[in-house]
Chains A and B, each alone.
Chain A
Amino acid sequence: MSNLLSLTTFLPVLGVLLLLFVPKDSKSVLRGVALAVTAVTFVVSLPILTGFQTNAEFQFVENMPWIAAGPFVMRYNIGVDGISLWLVILTTFIMPIAVLSTFTAVEEKVKEYMICLLLLETGMLGAFISLDLFLFYIFWEVMLIPMYFMIGIWGGKNRIYAAVKFFVYTMVGSLLMLVALIFLYFKGLEAGIPDFGLLQLFNLKLDLSTQIWLFMAFAFAFAIKVPMFPLHTWLPDAHTEAPTAGSVILAAILLKMGTYGYVRFAMPLFPEAAHKFAPVIATLAVIGIVYASLVAMMQEDVKKLVAYSSVAHLGFVMLGVFAFNQQGITGGMLQMLNHGVSTGALFLIVGFIYERRHTRLITDFGGLSKQMPVFATIFMIVTFSSIGLPGTNGFVGEFLVLIGAFESELRWWTIVATSGVILSAVYMLWVFQRVMFGELDNPKNQKLLDLNAREVGIMVPLIALIFFMGLYPKPFIDKMDPAIKKLVSQVRPVSMTAQAPAAIPVMPAGHPGMEIPAAEQNLPAGNAH
């Protein structure tokens, strides 16, 4: 099917239309429809995965005229490659889980809530598949609005502050990006590129100072979204106030917009500037890892703790991506998926106990293992996945990030980042101990019910993925490999490729492993100039 991507992306909007006809009092119908729509979207998205050819090209491409206004020409240009493929699948995979998790959590304005969720899904999918910068920008903004409402309407006590903070932070970044985007477009026009097409813009040669300004604008917008230290303070607030499904989506997918933005746009569009800024970004990433871990350790609210742990995990992603080599970027991409699975699961877990006890304070719990053994087992698996225990998904990504970064010029940064391995164990095990171990002495906890079938059902796919991705990550890596290889060569600045022209073609075929080392060996040498 040639328009599979469009179908996947806009199915949720069809769902919204369907929801409009459901009376707002029939909550179970609303929930059922929303679940069905997201589930169907997931099923429809699967052929994208199975039909994806393992190569570096964009696939399922749809490219047609869209808007032509004055000097501006925007096209409806979409497609996936190995980098965006998994993020699309992650999105369609997480959404039914998120919807299912709200069945008992949200009782008010169910209709509007479900509509928000579905619109959000379309926004996120659209952003991942856009190959037209302007189209990307539209989807990027579309995502913002439903999320803003979800926090502002269904959030906790401090929801208005959190929602506005979330909105303003993101908006400031987006506006800068918009300006840079338009500037880039005019540069493209001068060079004969007629539209916002990303693939053509990749070939645009910009001088270094222009690259730097544009990179800074893009990087700023994405850094807020990641979020990177010191632009992260919206995240703990947004997470604590957001309803469970909001937090799950925010952590699992929305944050990936930032890191994806770097990989898809900021780095290949402005490769030399990206190299220039690599030390700065790596520094912020590493500070983020250590800083967020230390802050997470001292949190009193479980959800805030998980939010800070997100900042630390995303720091690993950024470090890996800015290693500019195969392992680093692969690790970063895997870590994005892993974080989606593990942290999504952690927010669901927090949601489970919040729904039961209407508190998230660590001191209100203790000894829950005795009362809720199934919950304890699941919580423990997810905890160790978040810590990055070998055999779970978290390890593979983290390991590749670190080994990739260690090979690159970011060696010293890597050593600091590796200490995050210790810190994550400290804060996660400490909170686990305080919530699950010890005496069950709080009378309110003594009547807690273990997870019900629906809740277990929500968690099972995530747990399965945790182990699958940890033990057999090969399918994931294989599919993204060629696209990352291409990216690695794209982001190698011109000056470097000029010095090492023979590095890639000369390599004998059939030695895929030999290709990269030779190319990378030239990298430090080239950069020294």
Chain B
Amino acid sequence: MFDNVWLIPLFPLIGFLINGFFGKKIKNEAVIGGIGTLMIFLSFIVSCGILMQMIGLPAEQRVFEKVVFPWIHSGNLKVDMAFLLDPLSCVMIMVVTGVGTLIHLYSIGYMHGEEGFYRFFAYLNLFCMSMLLLVLGNNMLVMFIGWEGVGLCSYLLIGYYFHKKSAGDAAKKAFVMNRVGDFGFLIGMFTLFWWFGSNHNIWTINFTEIKAASHLLPYGGVVTVATLCFFLGATGKSAQLPLYTWLPDAMEGPTPVSALIHAATMVTAGVYMIGRMSFVFIKSPETMMVVAVIGAATAIFAATIGTAQNDIKRVLAYSTVSQLGFMFLAMGVGAFTAGIFHLMTHAFFKACLFLGSGSVIHSMHHALHHAHSHDDAQDMRNMGGLKSAMPITFITFLVSTIAIAGIPGFSGFFSKDEILWQAFSNPFHGQLNMVLWGVGAIAACFTAFYMFRLVFMTFFGECRITPKAKGHLHESPLVITIPLMVLGLLAVVGGYIGLPKLIGDMLGGIPNYFEHWLEPVFAQAHEYSTQYAHAGGHHSHSLEWGLMGLSVVIALIGITIAFTLYIKNTELPGKFTATFPALHRAVYNKWYMDELYDFAIVNPCKALGRFLWKGFDVVVIDGIVNGVANVVLGFSGIFRFIQSGLIGNYAWSMAFGVVVILGYYVFK
């Protein structure tokens, strides 16, 4: 089965080619959507087979590399189109193909009747192929193809409604910001390649080869430089501070895109990349610190913004940014397994939330359309009381919200609590641990608040659209609700494969399967970490129970506040914003980050470009060039008098010349 790994990205590629070239002629939505979904489903089947085979192998044999064809061979650089299968990439292909299949299925219903239906499915397949290359690549360059490929698809899909200027702007912004990250990725790759080559004559960008040689890497120094560069790449792709502003704008794309690309898969690539190179990152305590701090900061920063948004998808977008921050926090404290675990559970519940919001928008749009209303179908202020009209959407949405809020028994609780516990107890960052934990806990409180605010505003209370429109509200078709139900189920049970040891022991010794599974991948990194980690790390069970209880209380506080503000005393939020107008404005306007970027970077660059063109190119350089030409022209004007064409003049000057020359020889 392992040998067939190349089939996994190949199927979606075939789907892309079929729909891309012939989709327009096929026209039939069922066929186009069927092909797209089938292709990614086939990848899922192959992935399942690979997973089964890998489970059957002993832990130390769970690594397999497959060279498909040689790609760039030049001098000491040898890069092949090659794939790496290990427990980590297995988790990723399962998530990408599994969630991917559900979202493809959902899209058949959601995109029904859209003009560019075939185009949508072609791009979606192309995205899946790129994402699979990203997670399967056995070297940085194949990862980078996927890395840029998903960026391209993200560009194409955000700009799907290209006739809208906002969509075009958002698409471009996403791509350019990602490119800023890619700049870092490239420099990081160059640095490692050059350092290993010039110091140890190991010229490689292959992950397993670097892992084998990673003991040569120093702690800090060049590793800090390289990993910070890589992390810049991660902040671009995974929308972390300071490169996060593209993700909320990316909501211009159709909702399934937001679910697949901007929640479940692509944006987690940065987390995956750190996991893939954990043995390099761990060697730089400084970078680990930066990753943890940026992660925690993003988690709380985005969470605050999420509390004030009224567009249902924007709330979820900021929530994604915030949850990604949690993942980076985990990576930064050396809890790689917890980070990947949260990546997986987040893929379930956030995909479910996005698809649920899509179901709501779909229904709202339909209702408003029938009522000839021009109200915004995505604005939560127009919603309310949808739970009776859309029971399946409501229940799955509620389940996922509980999961993300961190209520025990649901998947998000296990992964998020693990992260917070690790942030508190990790042996790396000394005094900073308390801060990291505290910030994470507050962010978790905000999370519970804004998510329940969303649920209350959308599904509870009075319906705020016109009665006429209200009559047209209805539950979405099965093709939409089936993926919701599957993902909702996963949002509940997905966490049980990674039970914390504490709970597992209590339940009679259920092991943390997820941790055992990923152990071989991160073993190297854990070994290095013991070199410099502080001795600490011995915390009592009672402390762990206490913190777990505390984080539950924190989540409940968030929910209670949301309940108070949006169910019981619905006039309170208005009063609050009236009392603190400046604060509300700042939060509502995303702390003016976009304006800051325009002011500090975009506009100066434009001004500089214009100056270099109109000022330097045209005035200075061409001024000199034309000036020289004019001088030459001026001289030629003078010389023109000499070339008068009169034989007499020429004779005189010849005679003059002869006299001069003769005179020179005579008198020398």
Is B656 close to A, CB under 8 A?
A: no
Is B74 close to A, CB under 8 A?
A: yes
- Shortest C-beta distance, A284 to chain B (Å), equals 13
**Contact: B162 with A369, CB < 8 Å?**
yes
- Shortest C-beta distance, A334 to chain B (Å), equals 9
**Contact: A294 with B608, CB < 8 Å?**
yes
Q: Take A421-B182, A517-B197 as given contacts and tell me if A430 and B74 are in contact as well, using a CB distance cutoff of 8 Å.
A: no
A62-70, A212-220, A295-303, A357-365 - the one binding chain B? A295-303
**Contact: B606 with A297, CB < 8 Å?**
yes
**Identity of the chain B residue whose Cβ is nearest the Cβ of A164 in the assembled complex:** B629
Question: B370 contacts which chain A residues (CB < 8 A)?
Answer: none
A interface footprint on B128-172 (CB within 8 Å = 1, 0 otherwise): 000000000000010011011100100100010011110111011
Question: A513 contacts which chain B residues (CB < 8 A)?
Answer: 75-76, 78, 203
**Contact: B72 with A477, CB < 8 Å?**
yes
Is A436 close to B, CB under 8 A?
A: yes
Number of A-B contacts (CB under 8 A): 158
Q: Take A426-B176, A429-B176, A440-B163 as given contacts and tell me if A407 and B198 are in contact as well, using a CB distance cutoff of 8 Å.
A: yes
**Contact: A403 with B77, CB < 8 Å?**
yes
Question: Is chain B's binding surface mostly helix, strand, loop or mixed?
Answer: helix
Question: A396 contacts which chain B residues (CB < 8 A)?
Answer: 72
Is A516 close to B, CB under 8 A?
A: yes
Question: A168 contacts which chain B residues (CB < 8 A)?
Answer: 629
Question: B73 contacts which chain A residues (CB < 8 A)?
Answer: 474, 477-478
Is A272 close to B, CB under 8 A?
A: no
**Contact: A521 with B629, CB < 8 Å?**
no
Other-chain residue from B155, B183, B625 in contact with A418 (beta carbon distance below 8 A): B183
**Identity of the chain B residue whose Cβ is nearest the Cβ of A422 in the assembled complex:** B179
Is A49 close to B, CB under 8 A?
A: no
Question: A497 contacts which chain B residues (CB < 8 A)?
Answer: none
Cα distance, A77 to B553, chains bound together (Å):
87
Is A399 close to B, CB under 8 A?
A: yes
Is A414 close to B, CB under 8 A?
A: yes
Other-chain residue from A236, A389, A407, A471 in contact with B148 (beta carbon distance below 8 A): A389
- Shortest C-beta distance, B257 to chain A (Å), equals 17
Cα distance, A402 to B186, chains bound together (Å):
9
Question: A294 contacts which chain B residues (CB < 8 A)?
Answer: 605, 608-609, 612
Cα distance, A95 to B149, chains bound together (Å):
32
Cα distance, A524 to B176, chains bound together (Å):
35
Cα distance, A437 to B144, chains bound together (Å):
27
**Contact: B74 with A297, CB < 8 Å?**
no
**Contact: A390 with B201, CB < 8 Å?**
no
- Shortest C-beta distance, B194 to chain A (Å), equals 5
**Identity of the chain A residue whose Cβ is nearest the Cβ of B618 in the assembled complex:** A233
Is A270 close to B, CB under 8 A?
A: no
Give residues of chain B (58-110) contacting chain A, Cβ–Cβ below 8 Å: 69-78
Question: A165 contacts which chain B residues (CB < 8 A)?
Answer: 625
**Contact: A400 with B72, CB < 8 Å?**
yes
**Contact: A429 with B629, CB < 8 Å?**
no
Question: B616 contacts which chain A residues (CB < 8 A)?
Answer: 291
Cα distance, A472 to B71, chains bound together (Å):
6
Question: B169 contacts which chain A residues (CB < 8 A)?
Answer: 433
Q: Take A425-B176, A433-B172 as given contacts and tell me if A326 and B203 are in contact as well, using a CB distance cutoff of 8 Å.
A: no
Other-chain residue from B69, B76, B163, B617 in contact with A437 (beta carbon distance below 8 A): B163
**Contact: A233 with B621, CB < 8 Å?**
yes
Is B187 close to A, CB under 8 A?
A: yes
**Contact: B72 with A473, CB < 8 Å?**
yes
**Identity of the chain A residue whose Cβ is nearest the Cβ of B610 in the assembled complex:** A298
A interface footprint on B197-214 (CB within 8 Å = 1, 0 otherwise): 110010100000000000
Give residues of chain A (400-417) contacting chain B, Cβ–Cβ below 8 Å: 400, 402-404, 406-407, 411, 414-415
Other-chain residue from B72, B78, B191, B609 in contact with A295 (beta carbon distance below 8 A): B609
Q: Take A298-B606, A473-B72, A517-B201 as given contacts and tell me if A437 and B145 are in contact as well, using a CB distance cutoff of 8 Å.
A: no
Question: A107 contacts which chain B residues (CB < 8 A)?
Answer: none
- Shortest C-beta distance, B25 to chain A (Å), equals 13
- Shortest C-beta distance, B11 to chain A (Å), equals 17
- Shortest C-beta distance, B217 to chain A (Å), equals 18
Question: A402 contacts which chain B residues (CB < 8 A)?
Answer: 186, 190
Looking at B75, B141, B167, B625, the one whose CB has the most chain A CB atoms below 10 A away is B75
**Contact: B159 with A407, CB < 8 Å?**
no
B interface footprint on A418-453 (CB within 8 Å = 1, 0 otherwise): 110110011001100100111110000000000000
**Contact: B613 with A438, CB < 8 Å?**
no
Q: Take A390-B148, A439-B163, A440-B163 as given contacts and tell me if A233 and B186 are in contact as well, using a CB distance cutoff of 8 Å.
A: no
Is A481 close to B, CB under 8 A?
A: yes
**Identity of the chain B residue whose Cβ is nearest the Cβ of A429 in the assembled complex:** B172
Give residues of chain A (245-285) contacting chain B, Cβ–Cβ below 8 Å: none
Other-chain residue from A367, A399, A400, A407 in contact with B163 (beta carbon distance below 8 A): A367
Cα distance, A325 to B78, chains bound together (Å):
15
**Contact: A437 with B180, CB < 8 Å?**
no
**Contact: A517 with B74, CB < 8 Å?**
no
Cα distance, A446 to B340, chains bound together (Å):
50
Give residues of chain A (462-483) contacting chain B, Cβ–Cβ below 8 Å: 471-474, 477-478, 481
**Identity of the chain A residue whose Cβ is nearest the Cβ of B184 in the assembled complex:** A418
Can you identify 12 A-B contacts, CB atoms within 8 angstroms? A294-B608, A295-B613, A298-B613, A389-B148, A389-B149, A402-B190, A418-B183, A418-B186, A422-B180, A429-B176, A437-B162, A513-B78
Question: 4 tightest CB-CB pairs across the interface, nearest first?
Answer: A326-B75, A294-B609, A437-B168, A390-B145
Given contacts A297-B606, A437-B168, 14 further A-B contacts (CB under 8 A): A294-B612, A295-B612, A369-B162, A389-B152, A403-B190, A404-B75, A407-B193, A422-B180, A425-B175, A429-B172, A433-B168, A513-B203, A517-B75, A521-B198
